Amino acid sequence: MIETTQAQAAGATPAAPLQNTPLTDTGIAALAAEKIRARLPDAILGTYTYRGETTLTIRPQDLLNVARLLREDAELSFRHLANVTSVDWSKYPGYSARERFTTVYQLLSTNSWRRISLKVPAPGGDSPVVPSLTSLWPGADWPEREVYDLMGVRFDGHPDLRRIMMPHSWPNHPLRKELPRGGERVPFSMTWEDEEFESFGKQIIEARAVQQVPPKQADANKHMILNMGPHHPSTHGVLRVIVELDGETVVAAYPDLGYLHSGFEKQGETIRYKDFLPYTDRSDYLSSMCNNLCYSLAVEKLMGVEIPPRAQMLRVILCELQRISSHLLWMGTHIMDAAGMSHAMLMYAFREREQLLDIFELVSGARLTTSYIRPGGVWRDVPPSFAERVGDVLRTFPAKFDEYEKFMNDNPVWRARTEGVGKLTAQQCLDLCITGPMARASGIPMDYRKIRPYSGYENFDFKVPMATEGDTFARYIVRLEEMRQSLRIVEQGMKNLPDGPVWSADRKMVPPPRQELDVSMEAVIHHFKLWTEGMTPPKGEIYECGESPRGEEGFYLVSDGSAIPYRLRFRTPSFHNLQALNTMSKGRLVADLVVNIGSVDIVLGDVDR
């Protein structure tokens, strides 16, 4: 079942390697622009290159044709729609274009693993409209609904355009620039006589049932509509699934999101770059190190800053330990959900995970929300006992993983509950914009540590676990093998950990060390400006991503030259991967729905943000 990165995507047409493959994003973007101009001479309104990324501005009426060309051209093969978002330019300094809103798309070639960005001006003023891409990528469904919900951009041709995060009665679109953070002023009082306290301790909202309307696609006259969640333990958080049933057979499953929506992107656009880092911990709170790293990479790319080798190596080591920790929690809870009798497996997984959380606490002072990896480096160097603690993990964990494999692979209940359940083909994964272990278990060799190495991953010897069955058991095998490969990476990192600083020497981004303040007035000035104003990237926009335990995690940042992001988009893998639930569950028993939810490995903070 386990294959290497050379495995072809099962169920998809193998793409021939590019001849004279462009080595850079700008190279393949130039090739793409040439092909677009040959086919659609007026489609490209402009090109923009920044930090090695090229963005093509496309006429809205040509978006579908351009996207189809980029996707279906055998040489380009931009088959992965990585990100869909929008920008409100109404407050951007010096912006003079006609349209207030643009939609933005990041596409990844599955031939060369190069990326291109598209930007589409949305005509219509304050009521913008652009074509929907759901006819090409069904996985554009939720991202387009999110853009409509939070920014107010309508997508012509979308099959079910409605709010996805906010309540359906919400009066505005929160990410628009004229709306303040928090919407309305919150009154505060210090006196018991004030009217705010009249209802203190009383029920101030009438307790009454609210009529629930099933999704328009559901046939309530023919089928039973079952409400699963948001308090069901097997939804792994505040996820509500509206299930349409024919007896015990699932006709459709409609996830209802937003119960944990916290406005992370709106918050990020009102605080300084350095101050947003703790929010990344609280999105996918089982993978805070990886979240920290992805955000730090994006800010560093925007600033054009290089990171010292020791900091790079520490980042990789801790992110791989975090990957193991996340997979352990997934394995323990998922097996208990599916097999019911494997409580021991949950205890074993948590036993090993405790060792990893002890290491995180050792280096950062926190076990869950670490904020250790920061733009410019890491919080501080690791203590002397770090090597011993990691060494204990490297010595003991391989045997534990072998135990897990023997324990579960020979378990007939586990295999009966997972083999052939929740199947996804490679083509379905590409259509639904799925990444991470879910995609690799269906034969897609997409792991950003390999295809677009960052933080020095190109210097490590490891394999990307693959499978072709695309079912729940295949995803279990892939994640189990990923933990072994993470141990290989950690072992190499510890052997090759260099000496040196753990912060960048760029004083426009990182405060000078204390000893410099005594001898350098310039250092004092840098220190003062950084702590009073913050880092100020030049004007520009970038997209940067990495491989979290759940898949592609990315940040799209737009800088207006100030210390606060003008636009901050957080692309999370759980949000995109959860779209597969309906496809995985159709025609299966309702009992398999629990297995499928666990198999996706969602974190609701990562879904709702």
Domain limits, the chain? 25-156, 264-601
Indicate if the pLDDT at residue 43 is higher than 80.
yes
The owner of tokens 């753990």 is 502
Predicted confidence at residue 2, as pLDDT, reads 41
Q: Which DSSP symbol is given to 58?
A: E
CA dist 323 to 49, 283, 315, 329, 577, Å?
33, 15, 12, 10, 17
pLDDT at 12 over 50: no
Hey, which residues does 117 pair with through a beta bridge?
Answer: 55, 106
pLDDT exceeds 70 at position 8: no
pLDDT greater than 90 at residue 556: yes
For residue 193, name the pLDDT band (cuts at 50, 70, 90): low
> For 312-322, how does the pLDDT look when each residue is reduced to its tens digit (9 = 90+)?
999 999 999 99
pLDDT digits (tens, 9 = 90+) for 77-87: 999 999 999 99
Please tell me whether residue 254 adopts helix, strand or coil conformation: strand
Does the structure show a pLDDT above 80 at 575? yes
505 confidence band (pLDDT: 50, 70, 90): confident
> Are the CB atoms for 480 and 473 separated by under 8 Å?
no
- Which pLDDT score, from 0 to 100, does residue 6 have? 30
Q: How high is the pLDDT of residue 98?
A: 85
Buried-state track 113-131, b at ≥16 Cβ within 10 A, e below 16? bbbbbbbbbbbeeeebebb
pLDDT at 495 over 60: yes
The span from the CA of 505 to the CA of 305, in Å, is 9
Which of 14-23, 83-92, 311-320 comes out lowest in average pLDDT? 14-23
DSSP structure string for 537-558: PPSEEEEEEEEETTEEEEEEEE
Please report where in the chains the tokens 């006429």 appear, as a residue: 59
* Structure-token pair, residue 16: 């021939």
Q: How confident is the model at residue 55 (pLDDT cuts 50, 70, 90)?
A: very high
**If we measure between CA atoms, which residue out of 255, 296, 292 comes closest to residue 145?**
255
- Can you give the pLDDT at residue 235? 65
Average pLDDT, integer, range 469-477? 92
> What pLDDT does 411 receive?
84
Report the distance separating Cα 79 and Cα 368, nearest Å.
35
Q: Parallel, antiparallel, or unpaired: how do β-strands 115-122 and 53-58 relate?
A: parallel
Tell me the helices (H) and strands (E) count for the chain, helix number first.
Answer: 20, 15
Name the band, by pLDDT with cuts 50, 70 and 90, for residue 334.
confident
Determine whether domain 25-156 maps to CATH 3.30.460.80.
yes
Q: Which fold, 264-601?
A: Cytochrome-c3 Hydrogenase; chain B (1.10.645)
Distance in angstroms (rounded) separating the CA atoms of residues 219 and 141: 21
Q: Is residue 390 a contact partner of residue 382, using CB atoms and an 8 Å limit?
A: no
Residue 465: per-residue pLDDT: 94
pLDDT for residue 186 is more than 60? no
Q: What mean pLDDT is predicted for residues 165-175?
A: 85
User: What does the DSSP 8-state code read for residue 503?
Assistant: B
Q: Report pLDDT for 191.
A: 62
For 291-310, what is the mean pLDDT? 93
Residue 9 confidence class, pLDDT cut points 50, 70, 90: very low
Angle between helical axes of 25-39 and 63-72 (0-180°, round to 10): 120
pLDDT of residue 362: 94
Residue 430 has pLDDT above 50, yes or no: yes
> What pLDDT is attached to residue 234?
64
* CA 260, chain centre distance (Å): 16
* Predicted model pTM: 0.89
Mean pLDDT value across residues 502-506: 86
CA distances (Å), 562 to each of 180, 182, 192, 303, in order? 18, 22, 42, 12
Residue 185 has what pLDDT? 52
Tell which residue, 57, 52, 49, has the closest CA to residue 87: 57
Note the pLDDT tens digit of each residue in 247-273: 889 888 888 888 888 888 998 998 999
Q: How confident is the model at residue 215 (pLDDT cuts 50, 70, 90)?
A: confident
Give the separation between CA 476 and CA 478, rounded to whole angstroms: 5
Neighbours of 513 (CB within 10 A): 12
CB-based contact 235:593 (threshold 8 Å): no
pLDDT at 261: 85
Residue 129 has pLDDT above 70, yes or no: yes
What distance in Å separates the CA atoms of residue 527 and residue 186, rounded to the nearest whole number? 35
Confidence of residue 408 (pLDDT cuts 50, 70, 90): confident
pLDDT of residue 340: 65
Sole residue written with tokens 């083509």: 427
Q: For residue 15, what pLDDT is reported?
A: 35
Phi, psi dihedral angles at 552 (to 5 degrees) = -70, 120
Percent of the chain with pLDDT strictly greater than 70: 89
More confident residue, 338 or 127: 127
DSSP-derived secondary structure letter, 4: -
